Structure 1
Amino acid sequence: MTGLSGKWHLLLTILQLAVVSLSFADLPVLLHFMTLFLFAGTETIRLAATNKFYALSHELEQAEKQQAHLNETFKAVRNERHDFLKHVSALHFLLEHQKHDEAKAYLDDLVGEYEQTNLSIKGERGIVAGMLHQQYKRAQTAGITLVYDLDLPVSALPLPDRHIVALAGNLLSNSIDAAEEWQAARGKQAEVSMQLYKKSGLYLLTVKNTTMPLPVNIVDRLFEVDGLTTKGEEHDGLGTRIAKDIVHKHGGYLDFVHKDEQFTVKIKIPSVTGDIQKEQKD
Structure 2
Amino acid sequence: MKLNFRRLIPNWIRSLFNRWINPVYQLIQKKIRQHIRLQLMITFVICFIAAFIVGGISDSVFGKFNRTAYINYSVGRDSIDRDARFLVHKINQDYPNNLGIEEIMKLTPRQLKILIVDLDGKVKYKSEKATETQVDLHGIIRNAMDTRINEGYYENSRREFISFYPIELENMKGYLIVSGAPEGTIMYRQDAWLFPIITGVATFIFLFLFLTRRKMKYIEELAEGLLVISKGNLDYRVVKKSEDELGSLADSVNQMAEELHAKIEHERKMEKVKNELITNVSHDLRTPLTSILGYLKLLMDKKYENPEQMENYFQIVYGKSEKLKVLIEDLFEYTKLTDQEVALRKQKVCLNELLEQLTEELVPPGEENHVSFWKEIPTERIYLWADPDKLARVLENLLTNAIKYSEKPGEIKIRAVEEENSVLLSVHNQGDPIPEEELPRLFDRFYRVDKSRTSERGGSGLGLAIAKSIVELHGGKIWAESEEGETRFLIRFKRDE
Higher relative contact order (CA 8 A, sep 6+): 1
What is the TM-score normalised by the length of structure 2? 0.27
Q: Return the TM-score normalized by structure 1.
A: 0.46
| Bigger helix share | 1
